[in-house]
Amino acid sequence: MIPSFYHKPGAEQRKTKSKAFQGKYTKMRGLLLLAGLLLLFNRQASSQTELLDKVLTLGRQRTTIYDALNVISVKAECYFVYDSKVVNSEKRVKLEADHLPLKKVLDDLLENPELRYKVIGQHILIYKETEIAPAVIRPAPAPVPVSVSISEEKPELVIRGHVFDNSDKSAVPYVSIGIRAGNIGTITNADGYFVLKVPPEYSRTSLSVSHLGYISREVPLSLLIESEVDIYLERRVISMQEVIIRYLDPKTIIIKAIEQRKLNNSLEPVYMTSFYREGVQKNNRFLSFSEAVFSVYKTSFAHSQESDQVKLLKSRKIQNVNPNDTVYLKLKGGILSALQLDLVKNVPGFLNEEQFGSYTFTYSDLVSNSYQNAYAITFIQNPSVQEALYTGTLFIDRESFALLGAEFEINPAFLQQAADNLVLKKSRKLRVKLEKISYSVSYNFFNGRYYLNHVRCDLNLKTRLRNHISSDNFNTFLELATCKVDTLNVTRFPKEEVLKPNIIFSDIPYRYDDSFWGDYNVISPEEKLNAALLRIIPKIEEIK
């Protein structure tokens, strides 16, 4: 992720470059996310009457509705799905039952005659009758190929919801949300919120909700159609001491992960339909915000990054530059940086055996990954190394040794050295202090292989003009989500359709309209981001 600084016209500019740093340690400057490769299972629906008539006995207790539903969930062996705007989960209630049917227990607990229950399998949706229409269940569709396009003749189903941590009710960001049968997906935003558009032929499938460190959930899609819901994930971390019988050196696990790429990752090119966004804030005021949908021709890890191609499908932006601003910041090559953060293809130093001597690797924990466990391996550069390297955690599947993801940042002790090499242009009068550069990368399993799932990069820095006391805080981010992967009939794009990946994306012309994205899946804007964009709507730039 390379910021470039522009001083007011007339100020002298100079370039700062470091081939050693850029070439060896920072060829992954960006982000990407691929939320379309998800595991789902169809579950045979049980009778609604059978589950709601299940008899329960519960000891008297004063608690919240949220905790009471958790108690009932365990006792009745079921899962509840509801919108917290419909069910006040923080309300204090008395929970007690003496050989009562589940429906009676729920009626007494919720004390709201407007609430209704809908049951599929072991899932119970709690909703207001006026807020949800009965789901239309169609006959099961015929088998479909891996490559499936959203029909333009039938309106898509819209699934909305929030994902929370079951233990502390905090929002869980970057959760994979998707439909296995159609290879369709997205991720939750920083607030844990998601919107997923699904072709109607998948109404009888299930929604997969998965994230490293949590037990995955599959929820029948027909419970969620046109009804916003809250989904709670249960955290699952296992102490290494409980499961490790024989010691494996962390470096050995990493070497094995790189060797197993030929079994775990695609050897053939694929098409990725990806949603991209980037933004620049100055002192909590957005200077620019850009979004786009790309089609990416992605080659296997055995080919160079230059063999990938990017085709722009749709894009838009908002510019909010104040003429009084003396410092401008643009992101150079954000799209290229996003693609370069594919750690399987562009192996960084902490995954390269030849550079292991620069790092110290240690076990952290075993974490849950869907229905399996993954090694969590932390790494940090050795004290003797005086270069700007990385520190963070790797996640590697315990059985297949597939790389599942990584969370890392440039070593805080060498941030200024990194700034000197990442600032592409700046005035001699400008002082730049890097505060933090952090990255997250994840992969997901689909059709026997792991594909890039989500990448994000956040960069925080301060700038100050010489002889000035005050400074400006800049916050930038890049994010790329691949919401669909096609493996059939994959060929290279014609040259005239290919976007130069190192372009300054915010300089491209855009068009804005309310129904802009149509049936494309995108990342929903966070509440804070959405509020900021609404404030600068009058400054929307429309170029035909």
The helix or strand, by DSSP H or E, that contains position 72, with its residue range, turns out to be helix 65-76
Sign of the dihedral through C-alpha 103, 109, 115, 118: negative
Domain ranges in the chain with CATH number 2.60.40.1120:
48-233
Widest distance between CA atoms in the chain: 82
Strand segments (E) across 299-358: 309-319, 327-332
Name the residue among 66, 94, 63 with its Cα closest to residue 80.
66
DSSP per residue, 388-406:
--EEEEEEEETTT--EEEE
- Residue 22 sits at φ, ψ, to 5 deg, of -65, -40
What's the rounded Cα separation, in Å, for the pair 217 and 231? 9
- Residue 216 sits at φ, ψ, to 5 deg, of -65, 155
Pair of tokens at residue 54: 């299940």
Beta bridge partners of 214: 235, 369
92 C-beta neighbours (distance < 10 Å), count: 11
Pair of tokens at residue 224: 């969620």
Q: Please tell me the CATH code under which domain 48-233 is placed.
A: 2.60.40.1120
Pair of tokens at residue 430: 């400008």
What's the rounded Cα separation, in Å, for the pair 391 and 389? 7
What's the rounded Cα separation, in Å, for the pair 161 and 136? 20
For 451, residues 6+ apart whose C-beta sits below 8 A from its C-beta are 34, 37, 265, 266, 270, 272, 443, 444, 482, 485
pLDDT in tens for each of the 544 residues of the chain?
444 444 433 434 433 333 333 343 333 333 222 222 222 223 333 345 688 989 989 888 898 989 899 899 888 888 888 888 888 888 899 998 889 999 999 999 998 888 888 888 888 888 887 654 444 333 333 333 333 333 344 567 888 899 999 888 899 999 999 887 777 889 999 899 998 888 888 888 889 998 888 888 888 888 887 678 899 998 876 655 545 444 678 999 999 999 999 999 999 999 999 999 888 888 888 878 888 888 999 999 988 878 899 998 888 777 776 655 555 566 556 778 888 899 999 999 999 999 999 999 998 777 877 667 888 999 999 999 988 899 999 999 988 999 999 999 999 988 887 776 666 655 677 788 888 999 999 998 888 899 998 999 998 888 888 778 888 888 889 899 888 888 889 999 998 888 876 666 666 554 444 467 777 787 787 777 777 766 665 444 433 2
Whole-angstrom Cα Rg for the chain:
25
Pair of tokens at residue 167: 């233990």
